[in-house]
Structure 1
Amino acid sequence: MIIKTSNLYTPYHQEGDRWLKIEDGLIKGISETPFDTEESVIDLSPYTLTPGWIEVQINGAYGFDFTDDPANIWEVAEKLAQLGFTTCLPTVITSPKETIEKALNTWQGGPPEGYLGCQVPGLHLEGPFLNPLKKGAHRLDRIISPDFDFISNWNKKNGVQLVTLAPELPGALDIVQELKERGVVVSAGHSMASGSQAKTAFDAGISFGTHLYNAMPPLGHRDPGLTGALLTTDAIPVGLIVDGIHSAPEMVNLAWRCKGERGIVLVTDAMAALGKPAGTYQLGGSAVTVTELDARLADGTLAGSILTPLEAIHLLMVYTGCSFEQALYGWTINPATLMGYTDRGYLAVDTAADLVVLDQFESIQAVIIRGQLVYQSMDFSLKQK
């Protein structure tokens, strides 16, 4: 397959015409001139092409909650491609061990026959080793203390890619070190950690901050807390929900100024209502009331979001004044770097042929995963010549 485009982001913006050669699901060439071949060319010159987008924190969508029923992981992941996601980590929040095992077994069973959707390299387990004082929408009765027996089979091979925990809890740093040795990325979140405790956790192996500002102490001028430690530690990227609700525009701008274009990983933290009308949905065993703006528990606590990745890009640009290219890093090269993915998140020879096709209004027209068209809008057509 040969694709021509006049507006390519790798995610770095490339000026002028480019030709992409795709074979066996991989990018095999990017050229400023046509390839010497008789193969027909798919002309996408009117469109913008970006690398596929990577989501590391999503609780569910299209009416399904991954914690409430992990069996729906593949069904939802297939639909997420239409939002631009080509890789995702379904997120299971604080749950009994049996629920987590069911989710891991679903992942290990692989996608159903004929599956055309998001690649799912594993799961994000958000809990259960959280600080009860910062439980957020997680059920208090399911939060437990760090326990080595509980994580006996948590490793990359079994499908555990990312774990969020509160590093200040007794025994948590031993868990951090053990998971890191097993190849799992460990993140600080739902935590009351002080600034000094956070820095100790970074030294122990914490390499990410889950949904910055949310479920952690507010920034203080005497004890900056986990928030301040994350903002001022260049080596630790942060997840950011840019919906104008979870974090005020000014705080998004502050994060941008502190972390820069390469220190922010965009996340939706979306829940079951994403892609569905307003109503009542489930999140980890709790009822959530969803309006056209937000998702909340009965007591008003925010419970995930209904944010789309494209909305996050646009809002980040508005709140910070950054360029489309800079905002794009948050869905591409930044999460890929965090997770250690060297085959996706950017476009180069021998990386995955994962592409998002946008029109002039920056709406998604098509999504290609491993060289295969998995989604196209009603207005989109491929032109070969």
Structure 2
Amino acid sequence: MLFKNAKIVLENQIIELGFLKVEGTKITKIGEGKCDEPGIDLQGSWILPGFIDVHVHGGYGTDFETGTVAGYNNFAQKVAQEGITKYLQAAVTNSIADNQKILKEFSNFMSQQNGLSQSRCLGAHLEGPFISPERKGAHELKLLMAPNIGIMEELVKLANNTIRMVTYASDLQDGEFTKFLLSQNIIPSAGHSNMRASQFEADYQIGIRHITHLFNGMSGVSQHEPGLATAALLHDDVVVEVITDGIHIQPETLKLIYKIKGPNGIIVITDAMNAKGLPDGDYKLGGLEVEKEGIKVVLKGTSTLAGAGATYDYNVRFFLKTCGFSMTDLIKMTSINAAKQLQIFDQTGSIALNKLADLVILDKDLKVVKTISEGKIVFGE
């Protein structure tokens, strides 16, 4: 499969007119200039590495809590239209009994998705139950608990080692929970926490380097009581998830985040829930009633945000329009940084010879034309 007459965004270079060849699952040739070989003429469209969403609950009628193997597969097929080629399926806080059922189904899906023509799920992102009641957002208060290694061990077993990230209030433990996650090759992510900035330092020394949806569900920036958001902005090597839909974070604050963290410190996420891609109306997020209007989702009868309704490509366009960075900086925040956090950058996350052909093709308005996952066209044939 050959793509030609395209603008190709490499890690540190843009080929203004070039071609790219895919054989099997891999990229086997990248060249500049016109190509006379038969192939797919992209007529000047962009080729970028496929987007990696490390925090998406669901969409198109499926989420972590309601998914079956068939439902998870349906989501993996539908999410390709957003340019996503890899993702973590995020869970909200669930009861232990519900987790026993959900995680078994999810682990079955994980073992059966190989070879299917769809975006690839890399595992689960548990957002809760180990979070702060003061910063719970759209999580059920009665189900919250302090970080607990014994319960986490049970969840890891139930999920058959498919949990890749856990969001937790790291100030509600003594560092041992963080050490346990790292020992299991699970990314520890601080979030939904009311901590002071100074409280973050102990776990930073242990090795935490990831922040869940910066500014949302956490103590903020204050001259008298600096919180988790302050700590996240102060450490250059701490990567922050950012929901760039213009609703969760206003444009001025997006500009501030970009100015401080730069392209090496940000991962664009959706935090999307099951109503993404569906009509406006009433839905459920876990056990909570929510209502969707446009791309905004709130707990029913309140103004509390409850996940999101925007697609990944929408978030990309809004962020780029707001902050005006280069395409080489964009791919750091949509692909490279996430791949590095997940320790898969040797396989994917950028366009390079012998890497997986995880690609998204965008038109001049940055709308998705085609998505290629591990060498297969999974959207836009």
Give, in angstroms, the shift of residue 317 of structure 1: 2.0
Counterpart position of 1:380: none
Counterpart position of 2:144: 143
Report Cα offsets for 1:237-267 as digits up to 9, x if no partner: 1000111211111111111111001111001
Between the aligned partners of 1:256 and 1:123, the Cα distance in structure 2 is: 27
Report Cα offsets for 1:130-158 as digits up to 9, x if no partner: 01111000000111122222111528961
What is the root-mean-square deviation in Å for CA atoms of aligned residues? 2.1
Counterpart position of 2:374: 370
Counterpart position of 2:45: 47
Counterpart position of 2:163: 160
Report Cα offsets for 1:249-302 as digits up to 9, x if no partner: 111111111100111100100011110110011111111011114100133210
Gaps of 5+ in 1: 378-385
Counterpart position of 2:318: 315
How many aligned positions are there? 374
Between the aligned partners of 1:77 and 1:308, the Cα distance in structure 2 is: 14
SS at match of 1:108: helix
Between the aligned partners of 1:28 and 1:102, the Cα distance in structure 2 is: 42
Give, in angstroms, the shift of residue 13 of structure 1: 4.2
Judge conservation of contact 2:49–2:349 (CA < 8 Å) in 1.
Answer: yes
Counterpart position of 1:278: 280
Judge conservation of contact 2:56–2:89 (CA < 8 Å) in 1.
Answer: yes
Judge conservation of contact 1:95–1:128 (CA < 8 Å) in 2.
Answer: yes
Report Cα offsets for 1:213-243 as digits up to 9, x if no partner: 0111121113321110001100101000111
Counterpart position of 1:193: 195
Name the amino acid aligned to 1:18. Answer: G
Matching of residue 339 in structure 1 with residue 342 in structure 2:
yes
Between the aligned partners of 1:236 and 1:56, the Cα distance in structure 2 is: 15
Matching of residue 134 in structure 1 with residue 135 in structure 2:
yes
Report Cα offsets for 1:52-82 as digits up to 9, x if no partner: 1100111110122312445532221221001
SS at match of 1:331: helix
Counterpart position of 2:205: 203
Structure with the largest fraction of helix:
2
Between the aligned partners of 2:297 and 2:68, the Cα distance in structure 1 is: 20
Question: After superposition, where does 1:54-69 map in structure 2 within 5 Å?
Answer: 54-69=52-67
Between the aligned partners of 2:67 and 2:4, the Cα distance in structure 1 is: 42
Between the aligned partners of 2:268 and 2:358, the Cα distance in structure 1 is: 18
SS at match of 2:264: coil
Q: 2:305 aligns with which of 302, 312, 318?
A: 302
Counterpart position of 1:383: none
Report Cα offsets for 1:24-46 as digits up to 9, x if no partner: 201122223678xx974333243
**Larger deviation: 177-186 or 309-318?**
309-318
SS at match of 1:28: strand
Deviant stretches of 4+, over 6 Å: none
**Larger deviation: 55-64 or 319-328?**
319-328
Between the aligned partners of 2:99 and 2:341, the Cα distance in structure 1 is: 23
Counterpart position of 2:6: 6
Between the aligned partners of 1:357 and 1:83, the Cα distance in structure 2 is: 11
Judge conservation of contact 2:49–2:331 (CA < 8 Å) in 1.
Answer: no
Judge conservation of contact 2:57–2:64 (CA < 8 Å) in 1.
Answer: yes
Judge conservation of contact 2:130–2:168 (CA < 8 Å) in 1.
Answer: yes
Counterpart position of 1:87: 86
